[in-house]
Amino acid sequence: MKVIMIFCLVLALVAAAVYFLMVAGIITVPTLNSSDAPRAIVYFAGGCYALGGLLILTQKRGLWIFGLVMNTIVILIFFTMYRHKSEVIFSFPGLATKISQILVETGLIYLIYHYKKAVKAKN
């Protein structure tokens, strides 16, 4: 389980880094402007993924479930907002964040499902 937790942490930090690089203007989405995605929202998203990734290491199932739900909401909002803008979805930031977020989802589902088995195995 530790390997999966570290894998999820790294993926969450990758998503956070992409968000922070977008705010810094190093990575851009050519068809978006600052009114489409205000800087504060992008900072907040990056901060949430950095903090959420670190919280995975706490080994608290409730936090994993909360993170899973929140991550799902973020992914659904993204695809709802940009469903008609494939250039945003298939841009480097769009793919980098969503691929890492979907892999975090998968890892969290694994951790949540196998948590009780791991606790029983320790005892």
Residue-level pLDDT at 123: 61
The Cβ of residue 5 has, within 10 Å, a number of other Cβ atoms equal to 19
Structural domain boundaries in the chain: 2-122
Only one residue has tokens 């196998």, namely 114
| pLDDT means over runs of 10, the chain (123 residues) | 96 97 90 77 94 96 96 94 92 95 97 81 67
Neighbours of 108 (CB within 10 A): 25
Task: Give the integer Cα–Cα distance in Å for 11 and 99.
Answer: 9
pLDDT at 119: 66
Concatenated DSSP letters of 47-71? HHHHHHHHHHTT--HHHHHHHHHHH
Q: What is residue 3's predicted lDDT score, i.e. its pLDDT?
A: 96
Furthest-apart CA atoms within the chain: distance in Å: 54
Query: What pLDDT shows up at residue 94?
Result: 94
The residues, any chain, with a CB within 8 Å of residue 97's CB and separated by 6 or more, are: 15, 18, 19, 78
Residue-level pLDDT at 32: 79
| The pLDDT value given to residue 38 | 81
